[in-house]
Amino acid sequence: MNDVAHLVLADGKVFEGRPFGAAGVTVGEAVFTTTMTGYQEVATDPSYYGQLVVMTAPEIGNVGVNAADSESIDPLDTTRDPGPKLAGFVVRDLSPIASSWRAEETLGAYLARHGVVGISEVDTRSLVRHLRDHGAQNAAMGTAPPDELLRRAQQAPDMNGLDLVQFVTPKRPYAWTEGRGAWAPGAGSPDFQRQERAGSPHVVCLDFGVKRNILRCLVDVGCKVTVVPASTTAAEILAMKPDGVFLSNGPGDPAAVTYAVETVKALLGKVPMFGICLGHQLLGLALGGKTFKLKFGHRGGNQPVKDLASGRIEITTQNHGFCVDLSTLPESVQSTHIHLNDGTSEGLAAPALRAFSVQYHPEAAAGPHDSLYLFDRFRASMLGA
């Protein structure tokens, strides 16, 4: 195997490294995440579909990989790990060993088994600074010559206008019953056990690329969960008699997922709704707003968000490249949370329509647990309705 690999950005910038994982070449949008832990959750998050993810943490792979920590879901066998969803993985130092009692294989072996190209020994500090200054952009990486990689990067479709949901949504509905179990905060307390035995509102989750731990959090607050494909119509959802509808995270340009926007519009006011990440953006579009692409996005487990009602600051997990334009929303829609770094939209509410959403990931897998209360808020809105 060639022991030299390159990552070449569409603007011509070249970074050298060593290949790991699967052999070959991969193409996608180069983005970076500042999360310090949870590289397996990053690799398996469907929201990263079509992207080459650069880890800013210097050493990756030291605790290996295990099936329980995967965020992607096989609807036909929800206990099985279907593998990574990103297009490629970029790291500085790849740990040569996996040192954890939970490890089942190394990161390199895991990526190779699932056909995902990786590159290590890259100057990720320089690469991240370049992406921060010049913006996220298409790139190609692998063992092909740099001029070939540049050609492929420049020919790749731009993320604007791409509907990537179709590649990660399930083909058919399925039920979800698994909670976080022993890993949930306070799982051994009597309060948690009472919560599990409380009333069970029926939640229909529109799956645009949902993470496993989001569904687990819905179960933990006492919900009965049915997951449906992104193409499911409002009439089909209402026929399931849900107490609430959840709009999941997912990849790509929200404005390109026009069928989902129409579905959300048709559901507004008929049933309580809660959206996360792409679901937040789709709700914003359905309420009459517009979205735009951020220069390099918000990705990481250390993103500061302010709750405008309480003034409380939450440290959040995020993974998105598009954002709701607050200036385009009607007066009936409230901005509930903002990002403290740039003032962009992090939360919306339409109280008259019983709908709310956040741009970040309150399930925080991996990341801080500051925002878990939002799942309780959703449950309360359904029981109140």
Q: Are residues 38 and 106 in the same domain?
A: yes
Q: Are residues 179 and 60 in the same domain?
A: no
Write down which residue in 93, 121, 155 finishes a domain: 155
- For the cut 90, the answer to whether the pLDDT of residue 79 exceeds it is no
Let me know if 361 is a catalytic residue. yes
Write down which residue in 111, 136, 155 finishes a domain: 155
Q: Are residues 218 and 332 in the same domain?
A: yes
Q: Are residues 300 and 214 in the same domain?
A: yes
* Residue 328 belongs to some domain of the structure: yes
* Residue 134 belongs to some domain of the structure: yes
Q: Are residues 109 and 225 in the same domain?
A: no
Model confidence pLDDT, tens digit, residues 324-354: 999 999 999 999 999 999 999 999 999 999 9
What 191-199 contacts at long range (C-beta under 8 Å, 24+ apart), as own/partner pairs, is 192/220, 195/220, 195/221, 195/222, 196/220, 196/222, 197/222, 198/222, 199/383
Domain range enclosing 372: 165-384
* Residue 160 belongs to some domain of the structure: no
Catalytic residue among 41, 277, 323, 337: 277
- pLDDT (0 to 100) of residue 194: 45
Q: Are residues 131 and 186 in the same domain?
A: no
Confidence at 155, pLDDT banded by 50, 70, 90: very high
Tell me what percent of the residues of the chain surpass a pLDDT of 70.
Answer: 95
* Cα(326)–Cα(344) distance, integer angstroms: 8
* Residue 107 belongs to some domain of the structure: yes
- For the cut 70, the answer to whether the pLDDT of residue 179 exceeds it is yes
Whichever domain contains 113, its CATH number is 3.50.30.20
Write down which residue in 121, 155, 189 finishes a domain: 155
Q: Are residues 269 and 324 in the same domain?
A: yes
Number of domains in the chain: 2
Q: Considering the entire predicted model, what is its pTM?
A: 0.94
Let me know if 339 is a catalytic residue. no
Catalytic residue among 41, 71, 346, 363: 363
Q: Are residues 143 and 175 in the same domain?
A: no
Q: Are residues 111 and 176 in the same domain?
A: no
* Cα(172)–Cα(301) distance, integer angstroms: 32
Catalytic residue among 6, 280, 339, 361: 361
* Residue 149 belongs to some domain of the structure: yes
* Residue 281 belongs to some domain of the structure: yes
Q: Do residues 308 and 363 lie in contact, with contact meaning Cβ atoms separated by under 8 Å? A: no
Model confidence pLDDT, tens digit, residues 26-76: 999 999 999 988 999 999 999 999 999 999 999 999 999 999 999 999 988
Q: Are residues 107 and 133 in the same domain?
A: yes
Q: Are residues 212 and 332 in the same domain?
A: yes
- pLDDT (0 to 100) of residue 196: 47
